[in-house]
Amino acid sequence: MLQERLTVQDNMVVTLAYTLRLKDGRVVESSEESEPITFIQGAGEILPALEEALYGMAVGEEKEIWLAPEDAYGPRRADAYQVVPRSEFPEDFPLAPGVGLYVYTETGEAFPAYIAEVGPDTVTLDFNHPLAGEELHFTVKILALRPATPEELEHGHPHEG
Ligand code: ZN
């Protein structure tokens, strides 16, 4: 009995082991520390350029994928910084460079930001994505593949690995 070899296509649930490194080799994220990610191919759950590079891969296959900043989190923008008074933070807020937070506009929209600098009276917020301006190097391996169920396709995400 011949069996069709499953490869990554649209509407397949993909279980992916990955390590994400920066250009200098520093590891940013790895499924060895967290968990492999599971997503529906073609549903836009992961970076589009990463998704694009996975098409046609089979279970067990590994690949090195390099993404330029413009294919990842975009360039780092010099105008994406904002200085706010320290008094705007609750007293117990952990004011330290690198701490992530959400800034809410008057209309209730939330923007993720990171603390870039803490001064005596002010805090500088960086609205750039932490990986903006970085070339990303993914090492990926397909662990499992299966067709998504109609319900999963309707929701746009897998319900189990
Ligand atoms: Zn759901």
Domain assignment present for residue 53? The answer is yes
Do 141 and 92 share a structural domain?
Answer: no
Dist. CA 102 → ligand 1 center (Å)? 26
Question: Is the pLDDT at 73 greater than 60, yes or no?
Answer: yes
Q: What is the pLDDT of residues 90-143, one digit of tens each?
A: 989 999 999 999 998 899 999 999 999 999 999 999 999 889 999 999 999 999
Q: What is the pTM of this model?
A: 0.79
Q: 136 by DSSP, 3-state: which? A: strand
The whole-chain average pLDDT of the chain stands at 94
Residue with tokens 């169920």: 149
**Residue 139 and residue 60: Cα distance in Å, rounded?**
13
Dist. CA 69 → ligand 1 center (Å)? 31
Do 68 and 90 share a structural domain?
Answer: no
Domain that holds residue 47: 12-73+134-155
